């Protein structure tokens, strides 16, 4: 339970907001303590039907009725949202948590005429099945209690860690976007097993179970991923042939370059 918080308000009601709301309710926050706004009526209907929370198409209602304000909107509309509600936000009453990718705390602070308590957070999509990981970073006005409440909130949908804001773009590129890279890898493995006489669902389950098991082994083992790989790779064997092809195609370099490019893009989003 998040201590001493009467109302949590979401501005934005998309997939990540829905995942967080589901996690909060499953961890004991009553639906009456959660509210969400969006111009998308189908999003609001989904939240009302599935979770029984109050919804509105007026962002100002969220500010008036909530103590934690979660900005769950796309980066390109964050500025207009803040311009709309900034005069209603109070330092003493409100904690602002932004999950808009690439938007720096200083950019959010600049929309207010006075100092505000602000936390920037970056969850990833496995939060929708309570297996996400969220990085948070605080501005100078945010208190230790604010940090604890943010940690409790995001722990409802997975793990939470604190990082320096200077590392948030790299984190976004690696972990925030990371599930997409895994899904891309799964796509590739599915394409590579067309010759196996199994239905598509069985193939997907087979591959995803292999990835899940391997990830859990890497997490629990005292061996490094490199050592674990070498244990599977017998000299002159099947695995070595595949690894050799990966090395020939310079897969590691491709991955490292892709993450660097994604980091640059995250920085660009914050500058626009």
49 and 108, same domain (yes or no): yes
- Strand order, beta sheet including 8-11: 54-56, 34-37, 8-11, 68-71, 95-98, 117-122, 132-138, 158-162
What pLDDT does residue 230 have? 95
Domain total for the chain? 2
Q: Is residue 3 situated within a structural domain?
A: no
144 and 266, same domain (yes or no): no
What is the CATH number for 254? Answer: 1.10.3730.10
pLDDT per position as a tens digit, 29-46: 899 999 999 998 999 999
pLDDT per position as a tens digit, 127-143: 988 899 999 999 999 99
The predicted model gives 202-221 an average pLDDT of 97
What is the CATH number for 69? Answer: 3.40.50.720
Q: Is residue 228 situated within a structural domain?
A: yes
- Please tell me whether residue 82 adopts helix, strand or coil conformation: helix
Q: Is residue 170 situated within a structural domain?
A: no
156 and 180, same domain (yes or no): no
Last residue of a domain, one of 128, 163, 198: 163
Strand partners, 37: 11, 56
Q: Is residue 221 situated within a structural domain?
A: yes
4 band by pLDDT with thresholds 50, 70 and 90: low
Last residue of a domain, one of 138, 163, 188: 163
Containing structural domain, residue 229: 176-271
pTM above 0.75, yes or no: yes
24 and 123, same domain (yes or no): yes
What pLDDT does residue 272 have? 63
Instruction: Measure the CA–CA gap between 73 and 206, rounded to whole angstroms.
Output: 36
Last residue of a domain, one of 116, 142, 163: 163
What pLDDT does residue 26 have? 86
CA-nearest of 41, 74, 72 to 55 is 41
Percentage of the chain with pLDDT > 90? 74
Q: Is residue 252 situated within a structural domain?
A: yes
113 and 150, same domain (yes or no): yes
Q: Residue 190 pLDDT more than 90? A: yes
């Amino acid at each position: 339970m998040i201590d001493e918080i009467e109302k949590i308000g979401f501005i934005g009601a998309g997939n990540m907001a829905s995942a967080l709301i589901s996690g909060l309710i499953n961890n004991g926050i009553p639906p009456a303590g959660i509210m969400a706004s969006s111009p998308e009526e189908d999003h609001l209907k989904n939240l009302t039907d599935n979770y029984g929370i109050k919804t509105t198409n007026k962002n100002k209602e969220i500010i008036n009725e909530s103590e934690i304000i979660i900005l769950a909107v796309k980066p390109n509309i964050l500025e207009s949202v803040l311009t709309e509600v900034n005069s209603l936000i109070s330092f003493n009453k409100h904690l602002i948590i932004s999950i808009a990718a690439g938007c720096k705390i200083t950019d959010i602070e600049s929309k207010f005429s006075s100092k505000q308590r602000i936390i920037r957070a970056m969850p990833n999509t496995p939060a929708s099945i309570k297996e996400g990981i969220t990085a948070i970073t605080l501005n100078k006005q945010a208190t230790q209690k604010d940090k604890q409440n943010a940690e409790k909130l995001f722990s409802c949908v997975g793990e939470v860690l604190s990082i320096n804001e200077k590392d948030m773009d790299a984190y976004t590129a690696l972990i925030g976007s990371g599930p997409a890279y895994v899904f891309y890898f799964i796509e590739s493995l599915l394409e590579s097993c067309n010759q196996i006489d199994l239905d598509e669902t069985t193939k997907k389950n087979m591959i995803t179970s292999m990835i899940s098991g391997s990830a859990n082994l890497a997490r629990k083992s005292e061996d490094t991923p490199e050592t674990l790989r070498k244990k599977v790779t017998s000299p002159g064997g099947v695995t070595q042939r595949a690894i050799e092809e990966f090395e020939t195609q310079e897969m590691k370099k491709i991955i490292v370059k892709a993450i660097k490019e994604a980091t640059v893009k995250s920085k660009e989003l914050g500058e626009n």
